[in-house]
Amino acid sequence: MIRLEGIGKAYYMGDVEIRALDRIDLSIQRGEFLSIMGPSGSGKSTLLNILGVLDQPSFGTYYLEDVDITRLKDRELAQIRNRHFGFIFQSYNLFPELTALENVMVPLMYAGKSKRERLERAENLLADVGMGHRLRHLPTQLSGGEQQRVAIARALANNPTLILADEPTGNLATDQGAEVMGILQRLNEQGTTIVIVTHDPNISAYGKRLVTLRDGSIVEDQAVKGMEKHA
């Protein structure tokens, strides 16, 4: 589904080049659950942003469904983001003035769905993540775990081919984090491809494959074997 060839990301401080990513080669198959780990500053979030077309690589080639998207224009990339990817962030990134229901309806509006379609889809998604009883609540009226459930529902709104999660349990208590990861695990078992960035080995263990970054390079890429399923 995704193939990165020689992907790099460079920043400059004066005349000094700093490479956040250096010649990354990575393939992601449909239906995978991939965990990305590494120390702070290793390039985890930069890689995730490039995978989700939130950022452009400085060099290298990104193939999505065998199409080189590094050559596409910003408008075309925006369409790809809305059609192919769902995003989950550590800080939830919900609109504070919108209810849970309205937050989930936002990407559906950008996709051109009718109000009736938006409402029905958002209600069903929130029910699926156990938030059917909190439709009219604002983010400030929800716990961290509840907000992340809303964020998951929003990420699923347009039936993305890939869910990208950046430290999705980072602001949650252990039990809330386990609930969120349980939802992601069930989605993966239903066929959704998931890529998660985490610093927590307990969270990365939910994945079936582990990529480890250090200093902007992949130092390990291995299958996760013998892990028991989580509830």
The domain that contains 90 carries what CATH number?
3.40.50.300
Whether 227 shows a pLDDT value over 60: the answer reads no
Is 199 a domain residue? yes
Is 93 a domain residue? yes
User: What average pLDDT does this structure show over 183-195?
Assistant: 95
User: What average pLDDT does this structure show over 148-168?
Assistant: 95
Q: What value does the mean pLDDT of the chain take?
A: 93
184 and 7 in contact (C-beta within 8 Å)? no
User: What average pLDDT does this structure show over 50-77?
Assistant: 93
pLDDT of residue 229: 46
Is 7 a domain residue? no
pLDDT of residue 230: 46
pLDDT of residue 71: 87
Is 163 a domain residue? yes
pLDDT of residue 183: 94
- The alpha carbon of residue 46 and the mean position of all alpha carbons in its chain are separated, in whole angstroms, by 12
Is 104 a domain residue? yes
Is 133 a domain residue? yes
- Which is more confident, 24 or 229? 24
| Dihedral class, residue 60 (left if φ above 0, else alpha if ψ from -120 to 50, else beta) | left
Is 2 a domain residue? no
User: What average pLDDT does this structure show over 136-154?
Assistant: 96
Full domain range(s) for residue 157: 32-54+73-223
Is 173 a domain residue? yes
Whether 224 shows a pLDDT value over 90: the answer reads no
